[in-house]
Amino acid sequence: MTRRVGLLGGTFDPIHCGHLDLAAAAVGALHLDQLLVMPAHTPPHRTAPVASSFHRFAMVALATAQRDGWRASDLELLIDGPSYTSATLHRLHRDGYAEEELFFVAGADAFAEVESWKDYPSILDAAHFAVVSRTGHPASGLPARLPALAARMTTRTTPPGPGTCIFLIDAVTADVSATAIRRRLFRGEPIHGLVPPEVEQHIRRHGLYAAGTASTGENEPFGARAAGRLHGEDR
C-alpha cells in the first residue's frame, strides 16, 4: 500500500492550537500515515521570525511529541535562504518520495493565494494538497475563489483519478494567530489554551516574546533578544 505522508510547513513563531487543529483535520480525513511538521528557515511571504530556529524547532518538537506518527522536521532549517514549498517538495522527491505519496497541508486562507506561490502552477504536480478550512475561509469556497483549479479539487478522501489533486477539508480550527499570541505575551496576558501546555512552558521558561528586549520590525517589541537564543546560549 502506498504510504501517505503529510507535510505541514510554517514559521511556527510560536506553533499554536490553530496549526494543530488544521493538521489533525488533514490527518484524520485523509488517513495519513505520518505528518512532518517543518519550521521554515526564512518564510518568503512574511517578516523574519522573532524566535530563533532553535526555539521554533524545539516548540514544534514539544507540540508533536505525544502524537503518533507526527514528528518535527528540520529539513527547511538546514537550507539557507527562503523556504519555498516547491524546493522542499523537490528535495523530498530526491529522497525517494513519490508525488502521490505527499500531502501538503495548508489552510484555506493561505491556499487562496496559491497563484502567487513560487513555481505555480507546476507546484501542484509535485504533491497532493490538503486544504483545511480556517475561520472565515471555508475550504468549500475555494472552487469559486480559484475557478481555474476547480477541476482538480475534491472532497473525497481518495484521489478521483491519476496524478495529484487538491483535497478540500471543511473542519473547525481554533481562531488564533501567532501574532496575537506574541502580542498577548508582550502585554503580560495569558495564552492558556492557545498553545499546547508544553509549548507555553517553553515560552515562559526562556522568556520568549517578553516585553522590554527588542523589536520585531513591526513597531512592537516581542522579546526578540531572548527569543534568539537557547537557554545557556550566549549568542
DSSP letter assigned to residue 83: -
Chain segment 76-112, per-residue pLDDT in tens: 999 888 889 999 999 999 999 999 999 999 999 999 9
What pTM, to 2 d.p., does this model score? 0.89
* Residue 146 host element (H or E): none
What is the CA angle 198-18-217, rounded to 5?
85
Going by pLDDT thresholds of 50, 70 and 90, the confidence category of residue 43 is confident
Domains, the chain, in order of start with CATH, read 5-169 (3.40.50.620), 178-227 (no CATH)
Going by pLDDT thresholds of 50, 70 and 90, the confidence category of residue 1 is low
Read off the pLDDT of each residue in 3-9 and give the average, rounded to a whole number. Answer: 96
Contacts of 162 (CB under 8 A, 6+ apart): none
- Contact (CB, 8 A) for 194 and 181: yes
Going by pLDDT thresholds of 50, 70 and 90, the confidence category of residue 42 is confident
The C-alpha atoms of residue 100 and residue 126 are separated, in whole angstroms, by: 8
Strand partners, 137: 134
